[in-house]
Structure 1
Amino acid sequence: MKAELAVLLLIVASFPLASAQSVFVQTSKATYNYGDYLSVTISVSSVTGKNAILHIIDSEGIKSSGIPVQITKQNTTITTPVPFNSELFREGKYQIQVEYNGIMTSAPFLLVDIGNIVMPFGSNVIVPQWLDGAISDSMFFKFLVEKETVKLPAGQKLEEKTEIPDWYKINGKWWSERKISDSEFVRGLQYLVNQKII
């Protein structure tokens, strides 16, 4: 009997016990500013083939719709396609909440306004259309002026026909590729306005 028990214990000991799934989430920064892109890393102890569901929760407890995140490896990093913008996000404390395989976890971050120049919401669609000629210089410029991103000099009115130099479109391309910041792109346009080139 003792020999059989010893063999059974040896067999059980040779099989690893199933470990509990663990899930962690963290943001790339503790504090974000308007114009920053949110970057989140989800770490799991084992990949199950299921998606994680991510929510952003504001300081009033309002939760975004669930964003499915495909988990194919133990560490998955995602970055938002558009930066934080005051049109959509108020300053304050936020939580990233992630649910994966029945486990919920969260991480806090803070959003503050330090006066960064930020392209208006929708620019990620408008700029490529302007670059491709789908919308005119006038429509693009009107969009930026109406959103108060580019300011007209005192007394100057928005004209029906506005022309932006073709060579400035390279800056639009660089902005679309995130090679230059919102500030660099807008300051260049503002300079052209101030110099009466636009």
Structure 2
Amino acid sequence: MKYHILMFCVLMICLVSPGIASAEIQITSSKKTYSHGDYLSIIISVSEVTGDNAIMHIIDSDGVKSTAIQIQIKNAVTTITSPNSFDVSIFKEGEYQIEIEYAGQKGTTVFEIVDSGNTVMPLASNVVVPEWTHGTISDYTFLKFLADSSTISLQGGAILENIKIPPWYKTNGLWWADKKISDAEFVNGLQYLLDERIIS
């Protein structure tokens, strides 16, 4: 009789309990406060890897939601870093929320963007700089790109098509693309070469 009561209790627990829960998700950002020019880095932790992609949205302080960003989840802990830094022309100062949905569960975290007066490479630099370092685009096109966005200032205000940047400075471009040096370090070095007329 005790055996039957025990089996009945086990059966009831199985029927009443919700079963295996959906994969839980936690999100943390590398910082709570970012400046323009910083790269967003977040850590996504899930209790179960289901094979599904996570869907991420960034929501600004006005409640405007970004387009969906798909993130592959192959491990219990996934770290992602944005390919572009926070550009002042896109990300205004204020509080932002990251919302990620994965396997039927949602996780959120918040961060803030402040304007610290940082030197910031313009949008699309992550494409333009590598093309310049590999010789796909000319020194003229590269400098015009930076001058048009007011990232660098030119003495005399014009760029000649035969302008030459010392070839060794392309190493700095590779370092910048690999995030080994900051936007400010890369731009300040280039501006120094212009101001000292080393770029002629």
Write the distance in 2 (CA, Å) between the matches of 1:127 and 1:100. Answer: 34
Describe the SS at the equivalent of 2:160. coil
In the other structure, the counterpart of 2:2 is 2
In the other structure, the counterpart of 1:61 is 63
In the other structure, the counterpart of 1:165 is 166
Distance 1:180 1:3, change over 3 A: closer
Task: Choose the corresponding residue for 1:113, options 112, 115, 120.
Answer: 115
Write the distance in 1 (CA, Å) between the matches of 2:9 and 2:162. Answer: 85
The equivalences for 1:3-18 within 5 A come to 3-9=3-9, 18=19
In the other structure, the counterpart of 1:178 is 179
1:53-106 deviation digits (Å, cap 9, x = unpaired): 000011111111111111122221111111111122111110000111112221
Write the distance in 1 (CA, Å) between the matches of 2:3 and 2:167. Answer: 87
Q: Which moved more, 1:158-167 or 1:141-150?
A: 158-167
Instruction: List runs of 5+ in structure 1 lacking aligned partners.
Output: none
Contact conserved, 2:140 with 2:159, CA < 8 A, in 1?
Answer: no
Return the offset for 1:156. 4.3
Distance 1:106 1:168, change over 3 A: same
**What's the TM-score once normalised by structure 2's chain length?**
0.90
Q: In structure 2, what residue type is equivalent to 1:55?
A: H
Write the distance in 2 (CA, Å) between the matches of 1:54 and 1:33. Answer: 21
- The total of aligned residue pairs comes to 196
The equivalences for 1:32-181 within 5 A come to 32-153=34-155, 155-181=156-182
RMSD, matched Cα: 2.1
Return the offset for 1:43. 1.5
1:105-147 deviation digits (Å, cap 9, x = unpaired): 2111101110111111111111111111111111111111111
**What's the TM-score once normalised by structure 1's chain length?**
0.90
